Amino acid sequence: MLALAWKNLIRRPLRTLLTVTGLAVALALLVSIISFGEGYQRGLRRELDAMGMQMMLVPLGCPYDAAARVLKGRSLDSSLPESALDAARSDPDVALAAPIFAATMPRPAEGRTDLWVGVDETAQRMRPWWKLTAGSSFFQGEDSVLLGSEAAATELRKPGDRFYSPETGRSFRVCGVLERSGTSDDSQFFVPLATAQAMFKQPGRLTGIAIRLKDPARLKDASDRLQQVKGAQVVTVTEMIGVFLNLVGAARALIMAIAVITITISALSVFNTIMAGALERGREIGILRAIGFSRTDIFRLVAVESLALSLLGGALGTILAVIAGGMVESLARSYLPLASEVNLPPLTLSAVMQCLLLVLIVGLTAGCYPAYHASRQSPAQALRGD
């Protein structure tokens, strides 16, 4: 039966190919979107969980934008006074308050922008994934610089080397190099907080403060109190995740809508192909009925054709998604906050399963009417001339 259905499909190879390709493209799009969404969400949570922080103190303004920028290590137009750090550290519920001063340094000659991040010794405790390579140590003086693994690779520096920054006229000593962590830390330059502030001529200013509480259950009280700090506002991690997901969600909804439309069109195209095939073979089906194929047999024959066509589209779509997945990933990394800190799997199993299920539904619904129509064909049709 399957062989019979298959032979009917390849009878019109071009029509079949076009239908399958259309469905495959639509599915690849959908699989990629679902996979990406799942991977991004999971990665984001893992990352923020690892930091063990519950909130951030950021300058007044759009809090989410600020949080995103700080987390991504971008500079901020506005800043916090260092007094906010004292306020945070003196709060009874705060276990750890880690100041961050982040600034970008354009390097037109090299065609890139470096990220300089000023931190103090709390940085290490806030980022448990940091591992120093052999011969490395944490800051040993004002002129220490700690390089992310990628930054070290591009600058060709190892621990103990000198490092000159022509833009600021400063000379550093590489105190250490971080092992690759797959986060945005890999490409950053970490320097002591005061050094960063001096380099960018913003003494006493901070871009943000990451806060870990002694008891996460006291989040509400602590955030209410810290909200009172002058020039600062509180963003909780939960809020951040929500906002990032919304941000991604808006873009996703659009692409999702496109994918749904394409799949609907592909389903219509499957319907059209199967229906045309069934109509073309009117007399052939009559003959099958005459020689003993029951209505159910005919229904099954046409339905199997539709399913085979759709599954073919599904299989091709999955392959396309694997190929395209890499591209989607790199594109997304450059546009989404935190995406670069997340290891995005190109495809998730559940996304593939969801889409294969969808393909089955498409195949069944698109094939249902043509199959029914064909099964109603009278066997007497076999005797009629053309």
Partner 1 sequence: MIGQGSIVRAENLRKIYRRGAEDVVAVDNVSFEVAPGEFLAIVGPSGAGKSTLLQLIGVMDNPTSGKMSIAGSEVSGLSDAARTRLRRETIGFVFQHFGLLPTLTVAENIGLPLLLSRERSRDRVEFLLERVGLAHRRNHRPAELSGGEMQRVAIARALVNQPRFLLADEPTGNLDSVNSAAILRLFQELRQDGLTIIAVTHNEEFARSADRRLTLRDGKVVS
Chosen residue from 36, 190, 293, 299 binding partner 1 by CB under 8 A: 293
Minimum CB distance to partner 1, residue 341 (Å): 55
Q: Which is it for strands 162-165 and 170-177: parallel, antiparallel or unpaired?
A: antiparallel
Longest dimension (CA), the chain: 98
Q: Which is nearer to partner 1, 257 or 383 (CB)?
A: 383
Structure tokens at 220: 């509400």
Q: Does 385 contact partner 1 by CB under 8 A?
A: yes
Q: Which is it for strands 188-192 and 208-213: parallel, antiparallel or unpaired?
A: unpaired
Chosen residue from 253, 261, 279, 380 binding partner 1 by CB under 8 A: 380
Q: Does 4 contact partner 1 by CB under 8 A?
A: yes
Q: Does 283 contact partner 1 by CB under 8 A?
A: yes
Amino acid, res. 39 = G
Q: Which is nearer to partner 1, 8 or 273 (CB)?
A: 8
Q: Which residue has tokens 């920054």?
A: 165
| Residues in CB range of 219: below 8 A, 6 or more apart | 54, 55, 213, 236
Q: Which is nearer to partner 1, 170 or 300 (CB)?
A: 300
Amino acid, res. 382 = A
CA dist 145 and 191 (Å) reads 5
Chosen residue from 173, 218, 295, 333 binding partner 1 by CB under 8 A: 295
Q: Does 379 contact partner 1 by CB under 8 A?
A: yes
Q: Which is nearer to partner 1, 8 or 122 (CB)?
A: 8
Q: Does 373 contact partner 1 by CB under 8 A?
A: no
Q: Does 246 contact partner 1 by CB under 8 A?
A: no
Site string for partner 1, 37-76 (x = CB under 8 A): ----------------------------------------
| Residues in CB range of 116: below 8 A, 6 or more apart | 102, 103, 104, 105, 188, 189, 191, 196, 199, 200
Site string for partner 1, 296-325 (x = CB under 8 A): -x----------------------------
Q: Which of 3, 11, 32, 4 lies closest to 273, judged by CA?
A: 11
Q: Which stretch binds partner 1 (CB under 8 A): 6-14, 116-124, 148-156, 257-265?
A: 6-14
Q: Quick check: 297 and 60 in contact, CB under 8 A? A: no
DSSP state of 78: S
Which residues contact partner 1 by CB under 8 A? 1, 4, 7-8, 10-11, 283-284, 287-295, 297, 378-380, 382-386
